[in-house]
Amino acid sequence: MEYKPYDDVMLFMGVLSVKGFPQTLRASLEKNFGPIKTISDPFPFSFTDYYVPEMGEGIERFFISFSTLVSPSSLADVKVITNEIEKEYEENGGRKINLDPGTLSESNIILATTKNRSHRIAIGQNLYAELTLMYKNREYVSFPWTYSDYKSERVQNTLLEFRKDYLLMRKKFINK
């Protein structure tokens, strides 16, 4: 039996922050994952108060995408690195920056997590992944477990823009 290689995907991150986007964070992300392609405008994170006890008030959400395509099999390694980067921004035992890496392909959005649930799949290194959004009929379709912000028009529009970038990047890669 012959195995086909994975299609490369776009690495992106959802970022929750009470510190904005420090230059030191950007430098660390680019050192580990390559040049940042896009940074979305930040907006207040009001979808849940789950993170307030740890992070405090004034949490903002924004998304970043990277210029280098990656193998989807790298997601666990990426999550391990982002967990270490988060520790650099801890204060009094609580994160002030939360990095949620994911992959974006032509057909879906997959997020990495440390928490197991019935719909998540083990991806190694005691981590899990979930299909968060599926692309169908020119839009993203959510699931019962999809995070509220990923169901929002604002986030989906950002991810649709990332998807356009991804398709152009794939086209350039294939035509080389």
Q: Are 54 and 17 in contact (CB under 8 A)?
A: no
3-state SS string over 102-150?
EEECCCEEEEEECCCCCCCEEEECCEEEEEEEEEECCEEEECCCCCHHH
pLDDT of amino acid 33: 98
Q: Model's pTM, two decimal places?
A: 0.95
Mean pLDDT by 10 residues, the chain (176 residues): 94 97 98 98 95 96 97 98 97 96 98 97 97 98 97 98 97 72
Angle at 29 between CA 35 and CA 58, to 5 degrees: 120
Indicate the domain borders of the chain. 9-174
Three-state DSSP class for 117?
A: coil
Q: Which residue type occupies 112?
A: A
pLDDT of amino acid 175: 63
- Other residues' Cβ atoms within 10 Å of the Cβ of residue 157: 13
Q: Are 95 and 89 in contact (CB under 8 A)?
A: yes
pLDDT of amino acid 172: 82
Three-state DSSP class for 12?
A: strand
